[in-house]
Amino acid sequence: MSASTEPAAAQGPRPDDAPVAVRRDRRALATAATVLLVAVCGGVAVAAALGDDGFWRQGGLPVPADGVRIAGLLARVAAVAGTALAAGSLLVAGFVAAPQPSGTVDVHGYRAVRRGALAALLGGVAAIATGWLSVAETTGTGLGDLAGAGPFGWLGAAATLEEPMGWTVAGVLLLAVSAGAAVALGWRTAAALGLVAAATAVVPAAVHPAATGMAHDWSGDGVMLRSAAGVVFLGVACALAAYRLHGGTLAGAPGRRGRALLAGSGSLYLVGEAVFQAVAFWGGPLTGSAYVRAVAGSAVLLVLLVAGTGLLARVLSAAPDGRGATRLLAALAVGCGLVAALGVAGTRLVPPRFVARSDSALETLIGWDVTRPFSALTLLTEWRWNILFGTGALLLAGLYAAGVRRLAARDVRWPTGRTWAWMLGCAALLLSTSSGLGFYSPAMFSVHMISHMTLNMLTPILLALGGPVTLALRVLRPAGRGNPPGPREWLLAAVHSPVARVLTHPACAAVLFVGSFYVLYFTPLFDVALRFHWTHQLMNVHFVLVGYLFFWPLIGVDASPHRLPHLGRLALLLATMPFHAFFGIAVMSSSAVLGRDFYGQVGLPWLDLLDDQKVGGGIAWATGEIPMLLVMVALVVQWSRDDSREAARKDRQAERDDDAELRAYNAMLDRLRRGGG
């Protein structure tokens, strides 16, 4: 018997069974509770951070007035709350609520989208206000002076300060999400906007005040990971509670989707938090400061949240639509909100590491000291684990291997060559970011160029030859009629999205692939990008994605939105090859040092910057041809195999219809001959 035909007593009490007035009272109560939670979290943040001036004194900055500090903390809490509620509501609309057959969200998804639009609007305004207040906090300027400069007068100062600019950019992105959600009706759009809303949390996290100095590559990755995952956990818990109050069901697939979102985001948050706090406490005192007390409070709450999440999983499995599930979701939202408030307070407190030691010049610039020249030995011994890309490479390899094993369990053979290509691509990704290449890349242009060429050319080629989309579509099962979309539907939606069609168009992909070299290295953008860890990570993401977008339609096993004929692919490849050679020659022949300001500050004593740049240009020129040769070989082999398959297909067709096509062709020639005679 289906859930819809079960007796009401068997299903348990449901919100839609209550009178309309009662449901309205519940929703009004939920709204009031949300506002109260944000206010309480703001009060916790103020209480935890207000009495400690070490953040400003440690940095030699003027201590702002208490009113400015209180307003700044409250604005941060409101911005985080708005981001979380927007991300959670939109993700629930896209991934939990079952859409209509047309792809339009149902009534529960529609409510979630509208809540997400309102939350993104409020969060965007709060984030921009945080940027405005950060200028006052950082410069010691009074709010009256900032207000007297006009509505946009503070943006000049914000553009030169990392933290105010981070919050301002996040606010603009949230306003864009709000505008999109205001008109969104499809589950794909809702899901995409939810991911964008979650990603906005990374922007201010990337310039977190504590993610500086020694090991700021690890602390930076940790704080970005915990910020994005934290807003997803908090937002999804709140959105699922609201989803239940409006009568949405968490039985079956919706409940599994909700549990997966909470478990996945919660696990990522714990990993990011552990990494960040390990660096923040490195070598410092473990007691006696406001920062330590805030972290201790967060730790207690996190233990309770882990226990509560485990209990929620049991409740959702046993009685997904009971009141217990709604109450547990609300409790999780309260606990996570308090953790977020303490995290906001931590941005204005001094971590123990900064009290215990001073950073060297190289630790300030790149995060670690470089004490010996680059060589084949240091390439193998001087490893620096890249948390995002090193761990990501291992996860990609593991997921691919699991997919191949699942096919093997069904007695389906997956080509060994594709597996080798994928695993070698993951190995190239790992080595270029976490081996000696990743260790020396921020300090030496030549090593940076080796890493760049590996990420931009070799890694995408190997990954494209692995056919990950084809493997995933064979492994993943359809979600089923009446269920919310699953991983298979998400993947198909991404591959066939308008964004994918535009980016994989041969002209667009070629311009991005070739033009990014010249735009990055021959403009002031390169010198700016060298100075921050998050820009290094962004460059790595750009190199891999742009390379994959270019090589996917050329030699990729997976079907792409734009599939050129083999001759067209060969022509596109030959047309782009000279631009790489020109780039390498231009770098070698340049008399101006690229990134002179940054590399000059690094100041490796055994390195001549211009000579190192010439070596890097030679690497770009020489190594760029090898992957292109690999692509050409793969393209010729694929062309030959396609011709062989087409010939075999025609032979089978000829056997079935007694070569009707050939006889028709001969008859046509005979008619032409007779007509001509």
Asked if residue 66 is part of any domain, the answer here is: yes
Average pLDDT over the chain reads 86
Same domain, 352 and 456: no
**Maximum Cα–Cα distance across the chain:** 108
Residue where a domain terminates, one of 306, 332, 359: 359
Residue 13 has pLDDT above 60, yes or no: no
pLDDT at position 341: 94
**Whole-angstrom distance, CA of residue 372 vs CA of residue 378:** 8
Asked if residue 272 is part of any domain, the answer here is: yes
Same domain, 313 and 441: no
- Cα-flanking dihedrals φ and ψ of residue 234, to 5°? -60, -45
* Of residues 145, 154, 130, the one with CA closest to residue 348: 130
**Whole-angstrom distance, CA of residue 552 vs CA of residue 564:** 11
Structural domain of residue 280, as residue ranges? Answer: 26-359
Same domain, 332 and 403: no
Q: Which two tokens stand for residue 554?
A: 């050329």
DSSP sequence for 29-75: HHHHHHHHHHHHHHHHHHHHHTT--HHHHHTTPPPPPHHHHHHHHHH
Same domain, 119 and 184: yes
Same domain, 462 and 407: yes
* Region of poorest pLDDT, from 68-77, 135-144, 389-398, 538-547: 135-144
In angstroms, what CA-CA distances link 240 with 30, 66, 107, 235, 472? 12, 37, 14, 8, 28
Asked if residue 540 is part of any domain, the answer here is: yes
In angstroms, what CA-CA distances link 555 with 530, 561, 565, 649? 32, 13, 11, 22
Amino acid at the residue 655? E
Question: Apex CA 232: angle with CA 227 and CA 237, to 5°?
Answer: 130
Q: How many domains does the chain have?
A: 2
Same domain, 254 and 403: no
Q: Which of 1-5, 13-17, 99-103, 321-325 has the highest mean pLDDT?
A: 99-103
pLDDT at position 650: 56
Asked if residue 14 is part of any domain, the answer here is: no
Residues 6+ apart with CB under 8 A from 219: 208, 210, 211, 275, 276, 279, 280
Asked if residue 533 is part of any domain, the answer here is: yes
pLDDT at position 15: 44
Same domain, 349 and 384: no
Q: What is the mean pLDDT of residues 228-244?
A: 93
* Of residues 438, 449, 429, 447, the one with CA closest to residue 382: 438
pLDDT at position 355: 83
Q: Which two tokens stand for residue 83?
A: 């981001």
Same domain, 352 and 382: no
Return the CA Rg of the chain: 28
Asked if residue 672 is part of any domain, the answer here is: no
Same domain, 340 and 388: no
* Of residues 583, 594, 569, 572, the one with CA closest to residue 622: 583
Same domain, 247 and 144: yes
Asked if residue 393 is part of any domain, the answer here is: yes
Same domain, 271 and 401: no
Residue where a domain terminates, one of 359, 392, 413: 359
* Of residues 273, 444, 311, the one with CA closest to residue 365: 444
Asked if residue 236 is part of any domain, the answer here is: yes
Residue 386 pLDDT level (bands cut at 50, 70, 90): very high
Q: What is the pLDDT of residues 439-485, one digit of tens each?
A: 999 999 999 999 999 999 899 999 999 999 999 999 998 888 878 88
Same domain, 301 and 410: no
